[in-house]
Structure 1
């Protein structure tokens, strides 16, 4: 009888067999083990580890150690290597129920001890600057773990939202590089492996001496390498090697900030090669990469096409040296973006350019491999009439004893996206300008310093000082940078996102957090520019494009999109007091010729659409294709916004009633109802400040009616529903989410429970205190796991639709019961909000403690405690945790970091209003002092919170707040515009 075993069904683990075979093994000892065969009865294991690592696999990489251990494990025996506290190892064998200690040959024992000597540093370490310092020769915990994010800076230049360059760089310097939108400068890699987000030749180089390769940048385990480390910093990466033949090599990778007259996107890699010997050496450096194709569609359909439409090309100086190598494309539209690579060689006072190139990957590698190519001693300098965009440039230097040669490499792209008169002459001029500027000594260093200083200025908006130094470093250094990066890139690019997903409308959420940082730098006008770009994606009727790169797509298919815009505008006006922004004119999506209207009218239109037109039988907004949760596609026959608008106009033409809603049996999104209520309530405040009493009165009625409908139709005894159904005429299914919905996939749970219904009912002021307490019980009982709050309990959505999360993912993954960390941070924001306002102090403490518990699970540096099981990235939030294993799963870019920032601002008590700063903190029960600074761009507030141990909040009336030594009434701190520092003390008693 055949037996089928599947990963999620196999309960026997090698670690369990190891512990069973060696009964004396301490139950608290961290172990790693591997089955010797598929009988699953014997194992090879290692005990005494600092955390679980792939130690056995590392041991088996050594031929001598592998032969010894596998020989001991013959005939069904199990073998365990035990690491003792002093670093020495002992080896034990378990066979036929007997355990014996083995005398290991001295040379084998020494090799085992050497291989396991640095286990605690296999994942690297985070230093006090928030940098990840990594040994290149250790195993990787996961595809995202050793990755850095780089970005350019186009603030003040046109179309910054879509034209800001971005890169992903792994610890070996590999990865992809994009310029505007989804345009690849350096090619991504189209295969099934997550680990390689870019073509493997990208940013790599070889050193050749005496016609022989002595070094390859992506092969740190080469026998000539003595040490190899990588340091990932905020917006730049440094990789350093030392060779046994006496060379020191340093690589510095970053993206240039935009400079007028230079290409749209330029990435720099400075390579410094130092001769540590006492002899002069002739060293040749060969630099490689793969340019991205402009014919992205053909990657899926016709790779041959991507080859035959291009030819190799170089730009030369008068002396024949190469200023740049560039692919030359035939179809005119593909000449709108021109890629290039330039190498400058500095040796002492001399500046030279290469005189060798190769434009054919197969010729370069020959019968060898990328790590050891055949044709490296002399590049062919041959022009090819077709082929992928591979390039190699080579240059040789005479390197004196103790001297350093510098190879500055610039990879970039010029484009018509920011220059309507762009042509080949403009391209050559921009490259020439780049070469002229950076030929000057010190310019690369200045550019890097500018990059570093910008990151420091940006993050200075809020600097934290708690009793947790690791948390402070993360909050002050890495969290701001991820929020900055996502403002321009969001979910469209990261290590494992190899496709061309566009910027989604709802990703305006990233601006919710980054606007505070921009305004603190004096870049309020830039925030307005970004807001207008999103606003221009909203149609006259009030629905929005779901995503866009230059041209909007999927109008009105996702029903939550436009609603997110109101929160962004409200936050901006609360932050800046710029109520006149509502009167600024913005283009209307879908109009030809382009029409304009004020931001205020755009918001009116989207509220009318979501509150009065696109609603269901219970008066709540329609779900359409899906709302925030893309995997909640419950109406297979949904229609998009354009179709709905057309049908609605036909409907009211027949009825003569322009006030009636769209008639349908489509489902209603309760989450959208909450988002709509937030939008309406925020516009009540803004219309009041604007002096529009008539519209304010309309909105107040609208808010009251919506609240009543939510309470009447969406509250289902123990939870708010997630969706209301209208199409099941037999009444079998009337709602999704909450007790009794008949859609639970867990026989132990009566109903399904969605975290977002809890979160947004609180964030929209739709839940009363009793409802919050009831829901919190359900969250703790059904959604809380050791690895965070699940998005949803097991739910059989296949009973009502066929394209949902439960049809796409295994239970525990992503939207099918995974810990969707973006959603968990919305939940923590809701918990802190409720903890400040509910009357019950006990309930408030429960909410705050759960919020901090969840924050600690999301904070990425916590992965360092168990890196090979938690994986993820220790500096940047990933999007998901598997709720069964705790593994951090990509993508690496997500709303998690944005909402983590917002939730921590709430926890530390920072809320901007046009009247002043509201200071209303809830700090951890165990902490007695928390300090932080807030830079508004017009003044700096140094805020110190002191309390006894335990739960304290302002609502209980036991707090005194003083500003510059003077006690104030309440907790509204005035707005200062004097560019001075002011001290605020919050004292609980």
Structure 2
């Protein structure tokens, strides 16, 4: 018989084997790395005495001499253990018949092992004071996301920036891809089974050739000629530096150009500076490569042939027939609307020239070699190819006197008909010419980078933390705001993880919840309003919204939470600015032809009416539809989209002679309890806004609706120890999902399933009583808290009621089947901090506060540096998940995690913008006695100093003194002054 074993059920680890065999010889505090040497899972090689877990054994086995020695030693032993001691190494073997035996390490092997194991503590790189990640390119990477940077352009002030802002993902070797407007790839992503190798491997890479010998390849830092190779990922740019044993210094600078009128829609630049460190003149040839994105990416799923034969090579030549740009030339008219190009400029001490060699055929370039050692590198083919793919290589010679440097600028971009009223056949030539004229001016590239850096610094001025934790200050002041800014313009599909060409999701307006405060602090009120109106224009007349959109929307009304998020965003803007006139501004109504408009206020009214009076179930709660926020909660297999529901609803009303909203849509569909909380929050927000706007009639109606909805929530959704997640209307056996007794638990020890968002949003919507919060917290601590964070849900067997749900799609502990989904975990942190401020029981407030900060610490990305090869992730950017069984931080990088982390931090610091002004209500860590931060409000700057004794203190039950510029205030609401000025706020809790 054959014996099947699988990863999640196999519990025997090589480390456990070593510890079992070595016993007390191997102390428990010794950190060990080990691997099995064959599939018998008995023979083990390990290394002990590490600063943290790292793949040192695999690194040792990459060297033939070391691998050979270990394999030969294992002929006589069942295990080999190498211990790192202060001054030397000790090797021992273990054999079943003889126990532990000393092994003599040959001097050369010992030196080799010592060399490999040197500086293990810095293998993952270092985070400097500027929040930059400095990485030795020759060390093993903890994971595909760990050494990744995000780059973004700037089209603020130009049309449709939400759709058109260009963005890049880049790894430590300069790999990755570049996207312009919407989902349009300029540099190709990669479509294969390695989901976390994002860009085509030729992207942004280059070679140096000297005297018919390849002496350098930018993606091969372990080449014997490379002496030193370091990458520095900074906010919105990356620098990579090498020195070679043959006497060259090579510096790379990569970023996305901020947009200028008349230039291509999107342009990424890589500046390559080559310096001759030697004492004699040298001539080297530089060959640069890339792969243009497909003109029709959807064809890659079924007809790659088509994707190739619709393109041919195009060149833009100057008067001397040098190559000003290489570009794919597409056949189809619709493909010609987005034309990619690459330009190389060689700056020889102020004299700018173009290359005269090119290759557009990947096979001709690589030949029988590889990208690391291509056969066609010495002389490019200069053949105009009649088909794709969009590979390109350009080459030029660099003359370098002793001590001299040469700068080669690479510009990869796209010329597009989008937002271009006069786009025509020569637009490519015109815009590339203007780009060349712009960048050939000395210092222009450096000035463009400075412009990007200056903008990012201004954007980050909203909040400047000055705590005693330097690492936290750096993260909050630099990397966190950059990720929030980046996510404002980018769909979840674009990061290191390969995903489909997903568009911007409506619910991603959550990113604006945080980023709007940064924009508003810069005085960019109009920009925020335009973004809000763009989302508002994706709402249909009845009140449902497109789920995804770029230039056009799709999947209308299929996800029931979408439109409700808009109301929270508008409310945040109104509370901050007091700009109630914005509610009267008009936005388009989705789905109307010809296009009609209505006010933001009317749009919100339609959303509330649809979600609260029309699209509701038997218990008076909003319908789930295809799913709500949790996409894997697809429980109604026969759900319909909004357009179909609207048609059927109007037929229902017509048959009875009723008007819209007189009765709900008649169905047996399930109801979303989370949506009920989102709806209650929206109603309560709008009630206050309607009162301030001077609409008492609508405010009174909303007050009645809120009370009715709260009654339905308490009557139908509370299930003894937790709020349910979904209510069912079609099953006899199952009446709800989530909470005790639902009959759907996949864990025999649990009588029910539990969902984190029922806890989160019942608190954020102020639906849960204090007693209910206490009961839910007990369940949370017992069922959902793992060593690696708070899980999204407990084990559930939803296959009993539907197919294609979370439990049917993923292994337990992965993604939406019980992972630590940090987006939701940060919602939980916000909820716990909110509750900690308001509950009467001080001990309950303490428990909430402690759990909130514990979860926050597990989410702060720089914490991965403490155990990088186990936690993985990225030390500068939040990832979306932690596996709840292993603790691995898993991508994608883009998610609501950073957004809700920002909102949670602001809440913990006491920052709450309301109609009354800035309400200070902090919940600091118990051991913090002082917290100082600067808050930017328009042109005004507030320095806020909070002091308290050690222990748990809050405004609710503490004595406090609050001073604004030396004047003692009677409550904790600060009037917000946005005009220029500097203010000092002191809050003392005691």
Do both share a fold (TM > 0.5)? Answer: yes
Assess if the C-alpha contact under 8 Å between 1:863 and 1:871 holds in 2: yes
Offset at 1:392?
0.6
Assess if the C-alpha contact under 8 Å between 1:356 and 1:381 holds in 2: yes
Once residues 548 and 443 of structure 1 are traced to their aligned partners in structure 2, the CA distance between those partners, rounded to angstroms, is: 35
Residues 1:922 and 2:923 are matched in the alignment: yes
Residues 1:5 and 2:8 are matched in the alignment: no
Assess if the C-alpha contact under 8 Å between 1:197 and 1:498 holds in 2: no
Once residues 299 and 196 of structure 2 are traced to their aligned partners in structure 1, the CA distance between those partners, rounded to angstroms, is: 23
Aligned equivalent of 1:440: 441
Assess if the C-alpha contact under 8 Å between 1:143 and 1:194 holds in 2: no
Question: Scaled by the length of structure 2, what TM-score is found?
Answer: 0.99
Counterparts of 1:93-242 in structure 2, within 5 Å, are: 93-96=93-96, 97-242=98-243
Assess if the C-alpha contact under 8 Å between 1:41 and 1:76 holds in 2: no
Offset at 1:75?
4.6
Aligned equivalent of 1:721: 724
Residues 1:682 and 2:660 are matched in the alignment: no
Assess if the C-alpha contact under 8 Å between 1:458 and 1:518 holds in 2: yes
Once residues 602 and 161 of structure 2 are traced to their aligned partners in structure 1, the CA distance between those partners, rounded to angstroms, is: 25
Offset at 1:497?
2.7
Q: Provide the secondary structure at the position in 1 that maps to 2:269.
A: strand
Aligned equivalent of 2:352: 351
Question: Residue by residue, what CA displacement relative to the aligned partner does 1:489-536 show, whole Å, maximum 9, x if unpaired?
Answer: 030200113420111000000000000001111111111111111111
Offset at 1:926?
0.7
Q: Provide the secondary structure at the position in 2 that maps to 1:554.
A: strand
Question: Residue by residue, what CA displacement relative to the aligned partner does 1:738-787 show, whole Å, maximum 9, x if unpaired?
Answer: 11111111111111111100000000010011110111011001000000
Aligned equivalent of 2:277: 276
Once residues 455 and 870 of structure 1 are traced to their aligned partners in structure 2, the CA distance between those partners, rounded to angstroms, is: 29
Q: Provide the secondary structure at the position in 2 that maps to 1:944.
A: strand
Q: Provide the secondary structure at the position in 1 that maps to 2:667.
A: coil
Aligned equivalent of 1:944: 945
Aligned equivalent of 1:672: 675
Aligned equivalent of 1:258: 259
Aligned equivalent of 2:605: 604
Aligned equivalent of 1:18: 18
Aligned equivalent of 1:415: 416
Q: Provide the secondary structure at the position in 2 that maps to 1:671.
A: helix
Q: Provide the secondary structure at the position in 1 that maps to 2:243.
A: strand
Once residues 393 and 765 of structure 1 are traced to their aligned partners in structure 2, the CA distance between those partners, rounded to angstroms, is: 62
Once residues 520 and 430 of structure 2 are traced to their aligned partners in structure 1, the CA distance between those partners, rounded to angstroms, is: 35
Once residues 834 and 578 of structure 1 are traced to their aligned partners in structure 2, the CA distance between those partners, rounded to angstroms, is: 29
Offset at 1:964?
1.1
Offset at 1:866?
0.7
Once residues 544 and 170 of structure 1 are traced to their aligned partners in structure 2, the CA distance between those partners, rounded to angstroms, is: 36
Once residues 202 and 383 of structure 1 are traced to their aligned partners in structure 2, the CA distance between those partners, rounded to angstroms, is: 20
Aligned equivalent of 2:703: 700
Offset at 1:871?
0.6
Once residues 384 and 813 of structure 2 are traced to their aligned partners in structure 1, the CA distance between those partners, rounded to angstroms, is: 53
Aligned equivalent of 1:402: 403
Residues 1:640 and 2:641 are matched in the alignment: yes
Counterparts of 1:520-559 in structure 2, within 5 Å, are: 520-559=521-560
Offset at 1:76?
5.0
Once residues 707 and 497 of structure 1 are traced to their aligned partners in structure 2, the CA distance between those partners, rounded to angstroms, is: 42
Once residues 784 and 109 of structure 1 are traced to their aligned partners in structure 2, the CA distance between those partners, rounded to angstroms, is: 45
Structure 1 gaps of 5+ residues are none
Assess if the C-alpha contact under 8 Å between 1:336 and 1:423 holds in 2: no
Q: Provide the secondary structure at the position in 2 that maps to 1:562.
A: helix
Assess if the C-alpha contact under 8 Å between 1:462 and 1:933 holds in 2: yes
Give runs of ≥4 in structure 1 deviating > 4 Å: none
Assess if the C-alpha contact under 8 Å between 1:832 and 1:922 holds in 2: yes
Assess if the C-alpha contact under 8 Å between 1:141 and 1:868 holds in 2: yes
Q: Provide the secondary structure at the position in 2 that maps to 1:492.
A: coil
Assess if the C-alpha contact under 8 Å between 2:191 and 2:498 holds in 1: no
Once residues 48 and 876 of structure 2 are traced to their aligned partners in structure 1, the CA distance between those partners, rounded to angstroms, is: 29
Offset at 1:21?
2.1
Offset at 1:421?
2.1
Once residues 366 and 789 of structure 1 are traced to their aligned partners in structure 2, the CA distance between those partners, rounded to angstroms, is: 52
Once residues 846 and 99 of structure 1 are traced to their aligned partners in structure 2, the CA distance between those partners, rounded to angstroms, is: 49
Aligned equivalent of 2:957: 956
Q: Provide the secondary structure at the position in 1 that maps to 2:334.
A: helix
Assess if the C-alpha contact under 8 Å between 1:237 and 1:252 holds in 2: yes
Aligned equivalent of 2:977: 976
Once residues 949 and 60 of structure 2 are traced to their aligned partners in structure 1, the CA distance between those partners, rounded to angstroms, is: 51
Once residues 963 and 510 of structure 1 are traced to their aligned partners in structure 2, the CA distance between those partners, rounded to angstroms, is: 31
Question: Residue by residue, what CA displacement relative to the aligned partner does 1:292-341 show, whole Å, maximum 9, x if unpaired?
Answer: 01111111111111111111011011011111111000100001001100
Once residues 76 and 794 of structure 1 are traced to their aligned partners in structure 2, the CA distance between those partners, rounded to angstroms, is: 43
Assess if the C-alpha contact under 8 Å between 1:624 and 1:666 holds in 2: yes
Once residues 850 and 977 of structure 1 are traced to their aligned partners in structure 2, the CA distance between those partners, rounded to angstroms, is: 35
Assess if the C-alpha contact under 8 Å between 1:189 and 1:498 holds in 2: no
Once residues 655 and 565 of structure 2 are traced to their aligned partners in structure 1, the CA distance between those partners, rounded to angstroms, is: 33
Q: Provide the secondary structure at the position in 2 that maps to 1:176.
A: strand
Residues 1:572 and 2:583 are matched in the alignment: no
Aligned equivalent of 1:893: 894
Once residues 195 and 653 of structure 1 are traced to their aligned partners in structure 2, the CA distance between those partners, rounded to angstroms, is: 53
Q: Provide the secondary structure at the position in 2 that maps to 1:270.
A: strand
Assess if the C-alpha contact under 8 Å between 1:510 and 1:895 holds in 2: yes
Once residues 310 and 657 of structure 1 are traced to their aligned partners in structure 2, the CA distance between those partners, rounded to angstroms, is: 57
Once residues 338 and 17 of structure 2 are traced to their aligned partners in structure 1, the CA distance between those partners, rounded to angstroms, is: 58
Counterparts of 1:649-668 in structure 2, within 5 Å, are: 649-658=650-659, 659-668=662-671
Offset at 1:426?
1.8
Once residues 327 and 514 of structure 2 are traced to their aligned partners in structure 1, the CA distance between those partners, rounded to angstroms, is: 39
Q: Which moved more, 1:21-30 or 1:165-174?
A: 21-30
Q: Provide the secondary structure at the position in 2 that maps to 1:899.
A: helix
Aligned equivalent of 2:382: 381
Offset at 1:978?
3.5
Counterparts of 1:731-880 in structure 2, within 5 Å, are: 732-880=733-881
Offset at 1:975?
1.4
Assess if the C-alpha contact under 8 Å between 1:44 and 1:79 holds in 2: yes
Q: Matched residue pairs, number?
A: 986
Once residues 969 and 493 of structure 1 are traced to their aligned partners in structure 2, the CA distance between those partners, rounded to angstroms, is: 49
Counterparts of 1:53-132 in structure 2, within 5 Å, are: 53-86=54-87, 88-96=88-96, 97-132=98-133
Question: Residue by residue, what CA displacement relative to the aligned partner does 1:863-892 show, whole Å, maximum 9, x if unpaired?
Answer: 111111101111101110010110011111
Q: Provide the secondary structure at the position in 2 that maps to 1:150.
A: strand
Aligned equivalent of 1:296: 297
Once residues 621 and 490 of structure 1 are traced to their aligned partners in structure 2, the CA distance between those partners, rounded to angstroms, is: 26
RMSD after superposition: 0.9
Q: Provide the secondary structure at the position in 2 that maps to 1:392.
A: strand
Query: Which of 691, 704, 712 is the matching residue for 1:709?
Result: 712
Aligned equivalent of 2:329: 328
Once residues 104 and 85 of structure 1 are traced to their aligned partners in structure 2, the CA distance between those partners, rounded to angstroms, is: 16
Offset at 1:957?
3.4
Assess if the C-alpha contact under 8 Å between 1:190 and 1:498 holds in 2: no
Q: Provide the secondary structure at the position in 1 that maps to 2:412.
A: strand
Assess if the C-alpha contact under 8 Å between 2:493 and 2:499 holds in 1: no
Once residues 492 and 414 of structure 1 are traced to their aligned partners in structure 2, the CA distance between those partners, rounded to angstroms, is: 23
Offset at 1:979?
1.0
Once residues 429 and 972 of structure 2 are traced to their aligned partners in structure 1, the CA distance between those partners, rounded to angstroms, is: 59
